Structure 1
Amino acid sequence: MEKTILSCLAILILWSCKQETAMLNTEEATIGAQVPNLKFNQLLNDEKEKLSLYDIEADVVILDFWATWCGPCLSSFPKMSKLQETYGNQLKIIAVTDESKERIATFLENRPQSFTIAIDIDGSINSYFKHRVIPHYVILDKDKIVRAITSGDAITQENIERLLSGQEMEFEVKKEDVDFDPSISLVTNTSQPIFQSTLLPYNPSAPGMSNDGRNGNRLFAYNLTMPSLFKMAYGYRWTRVKENFKDPDIYSYDNKEQLYCYEMIFPNRLRESRLELMQKELANLSNITAKVETQLTDVYLLQKIPNTSITLPISTQKPDPNGITRYGEGVTLQGEPITTLVNYYEEVLGLPVMDNTGYNDVYDITVKWYIENTKKGMDELKKYGLEVIKAKRNIDFLVLSD
């Protein structure tokens, strides 16, 4: 009889847990509603290993959704640490990520923080607070009611003071369409245009993104600054651009009035000249001037390790654009030229990278990247007989001015 009761109790608990998980999967956070008792089942940088939301006694809770590869996320961490230190037990900041415990532990060794890190093991927290762009912030009051779903601009000492004093506040809502489809044209027409170019203001439902149209008949950019549109038109990465603006703050991504959406639909015969057309249009639409100058600068050289016997085997695979990952986890290339690897390392190292390998075919390469340990990321190249070294070279820079 006792075993039967215990078995029934176990089944009831299991059923209850499944029901709670199912509820989280179907519900979505809304401003003004109370959040269910979310479970943070893997914590780092905290005195506890696990925590339930309702066990948090702080008057204000901030959930910060982030990743190690997200530059804006990391740049906000000093501010978040300072806020946590300032308000102590009155404030609980939990930075939520879906990356591995091992990766985050290594990150914290190199960049310790004052707030709690939560690993969203099963994705339930990310699912409840739906978003597609990070950083993403949710502010809860002491009753675990959602007071704001917002951007980092709203996370200030002044706003926290107001929340702690019980003031009613209206935060700017982070408008985000999780079902946003960038393949749909900016301008809907009943007929398909042969050629069309469009410049529109900031779209709060879209993430910041772009596609240069090299593999189709449409190039687009969503929510980019005018300087970023110029970089796209000239094909220059940010590491090879010099900006000489009278007031750089005008072109800040925080200034939504200076963010634009651009689209060009073009026929096949204009594919090769599409970026030149974009350059001319931007010159007419803005007061920015662009020119190319050669300058001596610090660079990295990607080269073969001297006297190595390791060579890159030539790929027999067809290129797979969907297999290219260009963020913190690393990069996987299938049937790609070595320049694709060069471009990736230039992005993560933050300096121009030049190809000194002599490899001219296409290759299959997989390397991991560790933003918390640059040397470890660079050492990944050794298995392919490659290395990156510092040097000085004359290279072309795109110089933008107004």
Structure 2
Amino acid sequence: MAHYSAIPSVILMRISSLFGSALLMAAPLVTLQAQGLHEGDQVPAFTLATLNSPRPTFTSSEAAGKLLLVEFWGTWCGPCIPALLHLDSLQQAFPTQLLVVGVAADSEARVRTFLQRRSVHIPLAPLPDEQAPLYRYFPHRTVPHTVVIGPTGKVLAITEPRQITPAVVRQWLAGQRAAVVVKHDELRNPLSFFPADTSTRAALHVLPYLTGVGSQMRRDQTPGLRGRRVTFINTTLQNLVQQAYHVSHLRVQNQLPASRNKFEPANLFCVDVIVPRAQAGQLLERLRPELGPRFGVRVSVRPESRPVYVLRRLPNAAAWSPSSKAEQASWSGRGFEAEGGRVEMLREFLENMASKPVVDETGLTGRYDIRLELQPEDKMPEVKQHLQKLGLTLEEATRPIDVVYMAEAKTP
């Protein structure tokens, strides 16, 4: 099970690939209110502006006497797309008894672009307003997130699309209770599970899997902790290695047994790291000596010649204006944005979306304001078009790079 994020401050560990690959982890969607509707509650009437239905709006009253599925998803969310298509097929199978509407925390432009590439029959509603009533009725941290509303307007279930099969739909239509797994999202701030304040000089804590929270990595922005604290929630061992050695999945050879690589609770961990201010520049490196004793992972680094993408400036490209803003960057399936950022950050973003490692040969060594907006399903020609706006391009080549090998640590 994988989920995706809409929170810019969260570094995503899994996002849909632009170039045909996928990463291993994910992060949570914005949670708006800790309180919401539950099974058995009556749902207030609501209206949504839709883009691909005969009428410009969808009202919940249209579902009176029918089964209504409200599917929260995002164009940037890899698992959401097949889930949406699955529900679309259910709509075709029960055309008069079932209504499905997809609600995306996306702009109208992004949803329209999605519809140009995908044939979806169910009405889709862009709803980027985080304060919209529907988000208060059904708060959640991860998508896909499915709300099932019965013919009388009461919540029948809050679950995931994979739980909803034709047999389950028939049970609900017959007035029966369907045995679907309830989706529980942890609505508290995940950082609350690792208490710390500015008086904490150094710490390293490890907890097991945290139920109801998507995989994520957070850098604490609290004054006094900013730059010296990082927290991982429900992370894999490979991601810990990647972060500790500053590499993407494309530069890792994972030789752990398959059983240790399954994306399941037993293989996911929560890790909180705080270092003294003087060691802030080596925050992630603090994980390296812990990989063996705490997680049973042995790591070695080997130089190898590999096919790569080379990030270069286009001939006659305009000079980039330097930025004096404080360095900060965020990325998700929507794209990359930085203030006072380094090109290395952009390179890292591109590599985490690519099918080959990305090597920076732009010669841009300063700090800049950078914005690159992409669609998750963009192919290489489209990616190059977006990069051209920045005066950049990607070219295939072969370069020597460091490859990180991870294997089980030898027991004494």
TM-score, with normalisation over the residues of structure 1?
0.79
Unaligned runs of 5+ in 2: 1-32
Asked if 2 retains the 8 angstrom alpha-carbon contact of 1:58 and 1:89, the reply is no
Question: Match of 1:371, as an amino acid?
Answer: P
Residue 100 of structure 2 corresponds to which residue in structure 1?
A: 93
Could you say which residue in structure 1 is the equivalent of 2:151?
142
Could you tell me which residue of structure 2 aligns to residue 39 of structure 1?
Answer: 47
Counterpart selection for 2:235 from 224, 231, 236 = 224
- 1:314-353 paired onto structure 2 within 5 Å: 315-321=322-328, 324-353=329-358
Residue in 2 that maps onto 1:392: 398
Query: In structure 2, the residue corresponding to 1:103 is in which secondary structure?
Result: helix
After superposition, the Cα gap between the structure-2 partners of 1:246 and 1:205, relative to the gap in structure 1 and judged at 3 Å, is: closer
SS at match of 1:344: helix
The 5-angstrom pairing of residues 278-357 of structure 1 reads: 278-306=287-315, 308-313=316-321, 315-321=322-328, 324-357=329-362
Decide which structure has greater helix share. Answer: 1
Contiguous gaps of at least 5 residues in structure 1: 1-24
Residue number in structure 2 paired with 1:268: 277
Distance 1:154 1:343, change over 3 A: same
User: 1:3-402 residue pairs with structure 2 within 5 A?
Assistant: 28-40=36-48, 42-56=49-63, 59-120=66-127, 123-180=132-189, 182=191, 184=192, 186-187=194-195, 193-204=200-211, 206-211=213-218, 215-247=226-258, 251-253=261-263, 255-306=264-315, 308-313=316-321, 315-321=322-328, 324-374=329-379, 375-402=381-408
Relative contact order, higher structure (CA 8 A, sep 6+): 2
Deviating more after overlay: 193-202 vs 151-160: 151-160
In structure 1, give the amino acid aligned to 2:149.
Answer: L
**Contact 1:212–1:232 at 8 Å: present in 2 too?**
no
Seen in structure 2, the aligned counterparts of structure 1 residues 359 and 170 have a Cα distance that, compared at 3 Å, is: same
8 Å contact from structure 2 (residues 142, 213) kept in 1: no
**Given that residues 319 and 335 in structure 1 are in contact (C-alpha distance below 8 angstroms), is that contact kept between their aligned partners in structure 2?**
yes
Larger Rg: 1
Is the CA contact (8 Å cut-off) linking 2:90 and 2:166 kept in structure 1? yes
- Which amino acid in structure 1 is aligned with residue 350 of structure 2? Y
1:245–1:309 Cα change, 3 Å: closer
Contact 1:32 1:147 in 2 (8 A): yes
Shift of 1:245: 4.4
Change (3 A) 1:165 1:185: closer
Separation in structure 2 between the aligned mates of residue 364 and residue 273 of structure 1, nearest angstrom: 25
Q: Percent identity?
A: 25
Question: Using a 3 Å threshold, how does the CA distance of structure 1 residues 352 and 44 change in structure 2: closer, same or farther?
Answer: same
| Matched letter for residue 380 of structure 1 | H
Q: In 2 relative to 1, CA 276–334 (structure 1 residues): closer, same or farther, beyond 3 Å?
A: closer
Q: How many residues are treated as equivalent by the alignment?
A: 369
Closer, same or farther: CA 349–202 of 1 in aligned 2, 3 Å: same
Q: Could you report, residue by residue, the CA deviation over 1:55-90 in whole angstroms, capped at 9, with x for unpaired residues? A: 125743222212212223234334333333344333
Moved more, 267-276 or 388-397: 267-276
Following the alignment from structure 1 to structure 2, what is the Cα–Cα distance between the partners of residues 372 and 58? 37
